[in-house]
Structure 1
Amino acid sequence: MSKRRSRGRNHEKIKKVNFIYIISILIVLLILFFLTFLSLLNMGNSKILHNIYINGISVSSLSQNDAKEKLNSELDTILSQPITLSFEDFSVDFLPAEIDFSYDTSSALEQAYSIGRTGNIFSNNLNILSSLFKRTNLTSKYSYNEEKLINIINNISVDIPNLVIEPSYYISDDTLVITGGTDGNELNKDKTRDLLLSTIINNQKSLSLPVEYISSNSIDIDKIHDEIYCEPQNASVTKNPYKISAEKDGIDFAISIDEAKELASNKDASEIYIPLKYIKPEITIADLGEDIFGTKLGTSTTIYDSTNFNRSTNIDIACERINGTILEPGETFSFNKVVGERTSKNGFKEALIYNGGEVDYGLGGGICQISSTLYNAVLKANLEIVERKNHSMTVSYLPIGQDASVSYGSVDFKFTNSRTYPIKIVATAKAGVITVSVLGVLEKQEYVVTFETEILETTDYKTTYEYSSSVPVGKEEIKQVGKNGYKCSTYKILSLGEKEVSRTLLSTDTYKSQKEIILKHK
């Protein structure tokens, strides 16, 4: 009896297990059918799944084209709006366009569309189900100009209020002036860069700048000494390849480093003054002599009246002042600066000058002959003219268009050493002959320099008469020689052998006429 009951219970259990098993299989088959249906339905759907975002912008249930149009439109709007960067009361607006920021949405759109489509049936169905409950945010690729971003951050960093001031120094003649630092604010530039990009990408409209209050560095005398100290360098020349190195003065503290540190330890001083000493090199460019100044690059000679004491004295002074001047490549020569102010204290005498179209007496009369002779030598050396003006009337010692007037404080003659190597000016005035030469090294290509002057207009001088009892009856004396006036253009011609290479207009000059004055018996 008990055995029959036991077999009955077992049979019931088997039936129950079989029922559960069958139901489970049916549920699995139903789920598989449902998922397959979802997958097939999605495969036939050309729209992006639900809950898909790109750069925070919903592209859910949109076709790729509609999503692209919406995304680009909204991103353009977002990027056209300023982002406010602020710290305490300081703020500045920033536009992403300032760093050429732009998005490339194509890959993100492809990725958005591929969700639920490109995997196997299980992963696709999982993504489809997930999209019903979970938001997916994709990020577009972007590009920007790093250099512009760094420049903007650098500009912002100097506008932050109450900036930290680090110790600084400068050299004034023979004194090193050091200014101590002050504690203050400093913008963390690296952090600002990362935060700003993140702000743009996340479509945010404001950013609190990462500013830190820091202590300034203490004055580092050892570091400053290392930065300013240099040994004197001798001038040198090498022949193969040909290279000239100019001398350089050395510089050092005129006191010991310990003494300088003692001065820097004074916390009450706003500035610290450390004396400097300059150390001259043993060999200068001038000492190299024939090695670098062995060739005449251009020379000019004019004649003057050596019996005119005052005018000759002025010529001698100007000649001595410019003689021996050395110009490095790129260095500019100023006649007024080198010769100096024309004063009695500087040794200059009264002699005839042109003044407002008239002949008059003035200190330094005659030195224009030196500037004019130098001008011609410089032209023949094919150097660059920076400033030059003709006289108000023609001069007797040079052809028209080839003179160079000077007047301290108003009219200067300047030129630049436009050659590859240093040049030296050599000037002499002796026995009525002025010779000015430019010495240096020949370039690989040297030109023959000549001039040509074209007279455009001529103004005949007028004759006037004055009367004096000192003139014998029936006789006439010339008090002032007449000079015609001219307008002319002067050209510089460069030639290689017999071939003209270039013709350049040097200047167009206008000279006033000078009236002739004849004395008659009164």
Structure 2
Amino acid sequence: MFKNKPVLLLLGAIGVFVIIILSCIIYISVAWKGKIVPGVQVEWIEVGGLTQDEAEQKISEVQQEFLSAPVEITASEERVSLSRGELGFSIDAKKPAQQAYQVGREGSISKRISQTWYAYHKQVVIPCPEVMIDTQQVESILASFSEGLDEPQDARLIIDDRDQITIIPSKTGIAVDLDVSLDDLKLFKQPFAGEIELQYKEELPKVSTADIEAMGINGIISSFTTKFDASNYNRSYNIALAAKALNNTLIKPGEVFSFNKRVGPRTAKSGYREAIIIESNVFVPGLGGGVCQVSSTLYNTVLLAGLEITERSNHSLAITYVPLGRDAAVSYGYQDLKFRNNLKSHIYIKTYVGKGSLTMKIFGNTQQRKNVSLETVVNSVINPKVTTKDDPNLLKGKTVVEKAGAKGYRVTAYRIINGSKQLLSQNYYRPTDQVVRVGTKEPSAEPRPNPNPEPKPEPEPKPPEPEPEPEPEPEPEPET
């Protein structure tokens, strides 16, 4: 019987240990149900024995003291006193309260017991979350400290009316270094009041001189001009407005350009006016008339630069401002002109509107300029049909052309690049019928002469009227 005594003692010890563990678990569950274990604090704030909500409230009150404490900010001879709250600082009280509540309540049983014991006999310190800063608010409040400082200036590419290219160099600026200046204020520690001196740093421009130089733009690689009637004021205005939207467009290598995206919708709100457009295969007044001349001018300029066309449509009716087969119809949300910059350098579009002329130029790296020519072939001419309609108000035998017809065409366009000919497009332009009014009105009957007219009776002679009697001669007046 005594031989098994060590085993019994071991089993007894294990049993006692299990009882102690169970007792601890029961004690924690009962004594601190819904409360934070004693000995837990957030930074220096004691939260043991509190519910999670009570802990959050206590932490929040201390944080409000932290956010409202005055801070002296100096820069050179300027000084201002503000609180962290006014500077846009904020801090979260909920998260540390949740972390404090979880002490002794998560993980394995042994971990829970060790955390609880450690909190009782030593201390468990929960760090406060990082202080957050509203950068925009800080910059707005401290804007006065930035007055007089040099702002960074981006490098710019300038092309004048003589096609001279100039690079305006970039400049480095100076700005308040908020990260360094406000770093100490972000520490949640006592004392809350403080004093800082703003630090400054160099601020680099977004576009450097080297960035512009790396674009490789050094001259013209293509240009094209079309003519328009300057006396048509609304159409001329629309041409100038769309051309202005295209002017100074920079396109990166590999980038796809969209005419509609760049120019935008042709609406009255955008400033466009009513002029002749093509709608449902008919020339009619509409907003934005003339914009297709801008897209067609750009299309020819792009073709001559050797760029890749990804989307283009011809008009349904023949137009005259560019050769047939070389037009580009655009309609916002329906038809677009798109091309890709397949060169290794950037390209830059310039537009020039003169009195009755529109010129577009594409600038790029002249070393990549190609020998390009364009060719169009009229495969067939389609004569218009003549349709007639009766006109009851027009005399029979008379005709009037109400609508002049127009011929249609089938045209093939080619581009020859460095001697290599490639098909560009097959184009169909509809003919428009000629409409003729034919008179159906019968002429009215005219009166016919009588071959045996009856003689008219002669009028009876009237008796002569009596002659008046002569008046008596007056008696002579006496002489004086």
Output the TM-score relative to the length of structure 2. 0.48
Structure with bigger gyration radius: 2
Higher helix share: 1
